[in-house]
Every structure is written in C-alpha cells, then in structure tokens.
Amino acid sequence: MPDPAVLRELERRLEELDPSRARPPAAGPTVSTGVALLDEILPRGGLPRGEPVEWLGPRSCGKTALLRTLVRRRRAEGEPVALVDAGRTLFAPDWVGPEGEGGGEETLWVVRPPSGKEAAWCADLLLRSGGFGTVALLLGDEAPGGGRGRTGPGLRRSVAVRLQRLAEEAGAVFVVEGASPLAALRLRFRSGRVEPVGGGAPFGPFLPGVRPVWVRVGGGRRAEVPVLCPEPGDGRPRSRREPAAARDRKGRR
C-alpha cells in the first residue's frame, strides 16, 4: 500500500503545478478571518463553513497569530469557539482577552487531551455536540522544508472523512493545524518578508501590535497581510498556575 504521506505530498505538488486540479470550493456560507486583506484573496472571501481548512506551516511563521485573530473575530460576533490543543502549548488566559471582550470566558473552550492521539476524538465530540461555531484542531507545526518530519501527525483519511461530515452537519468552521487530506481550503504560512501580490514594496516596518504574515492560498496565490498580534507584557493578568514560559509554542511540551 502506498505511503499516505507520499500521496499527500504528490497531491500538493500537482496542485502547485496545475491549480485547476485543486478541489473547487463548496457553495456554502463563509466567515471572515478577521483580516480584510486575506479575505480578499480567498476564493469565496472567507473561510468556508462545514469544510476542513488546512492551516500548515513551520514554527513561528504566523499561524497562531492569525488563528488568534480569527478566534477574536468569531467570539466578538457571539460565536462559541473550541480549540483542541494536542501539543498542550497554548496559554489559555491569553486567548480569553480583557473582561467583556468576545462575550466572556464561556465562549472559548481550550481542550487539552492527555495525549496527541486523542486530539481527533476530542474534535469529533466538539463537532458532534453542535455547540461550537468554530473548532480548531491543533496537531502541530510543519518541519522546515515541507511535509516530512512534521511534529504533528496530520489526519488519516478515514478520520478526516468522519470529521468533515460532522463539520458539515454542525455548519462549523473547522480548522486543522496540520495535514488534512480532504481540505476544501489550504493555507500555507511562511515567516519572513516577501513581495506582496502585484509587486511593490514589502509590508513593514514591524510595528507594535502588528505582525506581517506570509500566506499562500490553495494552489499558489499568495499575499503578505498584517495581522494584529498582541505583544507579551500587554498588562493582561496571567494565570499563576502556569508560567509565562508555557505560552504559545515557546514553552514546555
């Protein structure tokens, strides 16, 4: 039987060579990412409901910054959000925000399974409950250079089929940080400053509270978009039960 990782990599290469081979977007509703410049280049002006969205890239490339922006936007609109933190690296109090922002703590759940192997099962239960408008399954970062050697295992096709069906039934935005073989939309992140779409000067300089993020959409469209990213030491209260070193992907595992 062919190696699933090899098949996924072959599928990606084919899409890069011929974007028309990419899976066409569904006709359902979409939601904003919270970044207008990114919404403009997405095929339908936002993230689709009821379809998996692959969120892939190496460590410190902006994935978490954009996910935080998406979560803030969904909660501001009164939508409950659930994050399945397979790597146990998110500092949950940072995601709640100041008192009164985003509808309160009850609109955000951070689930930390005992082991990464149970992360997909947790996402299954959250989607099956129908109580969350957005569910993000955080499996891990992509190793530098591509798909091999990921710290996150990605989803097996059989699991992806089940989660896709549940997301469709719930009408939820379903983000998978890691490889998702049935993704309707693929976002690949890369750190660094690059030329934006259409040429011209790169976005910058780096400003307090704003982080430039390089994003490639599907089979090759790309853009550099500014993402609001709260800086450490912004005065928000920290939990005494968890040291600051354990915050987003910079602490213990």
Mean pLDDT, 10 residues at a time, the chain of 253 residues: 62 54 58 89 90 89 88 92 91 71 72 90 95 93 53 75 94 92 87 59 57 79 70 44 44 42
Gyration radius of the chain's alpha carbons? 17
Under DSSP, the state recorded for 132 is -
Helix (H) or strand (E) segment spanning residue 5: helix 4-17
- Residue-level pLDDT at 102: 52
Bridge partners for 134 per DSSP: 81, 173
Mutual angle of helices 157-170 and 119-129, in 10-degree steps: 20
pTM of the model: 0.72
Question: In this predicted structure, what is the pLDDT of residue 246?
Answer: 44
Question: What pLDDT is stored for residue 178 in this prediction?
Answer: 87
223 forms beta bridges with 215
What values do phi and psi take at 76, rounded to 5?
A: -65, -25
The strand ranges marked E within 119-161 are 134-138
Q: What is the DSSP letter of 203?
A: S
Give residue 148's pLDDT: 38
Beta bridge partners of 136: 83, 175
Note the pLDDT of residue 199.
57
pLDDT at 147: 46
* Domains by residue range for the chain, with CATH: 4-12+28-246 (3.40.50.300)
pLDDT value of position 65:
86
Q: Is 220 left (phi over 0), alpha (psi -120 to 50) or beta?
A: left
How far is it, in rounded angstroms, from Cα 143 to Cα 148? Answer: 7
Q: Give ∠ CA 89-94-96 in degrees, rounded to 5.
A: 115
* pLDDT for the residue numbered 98: 60
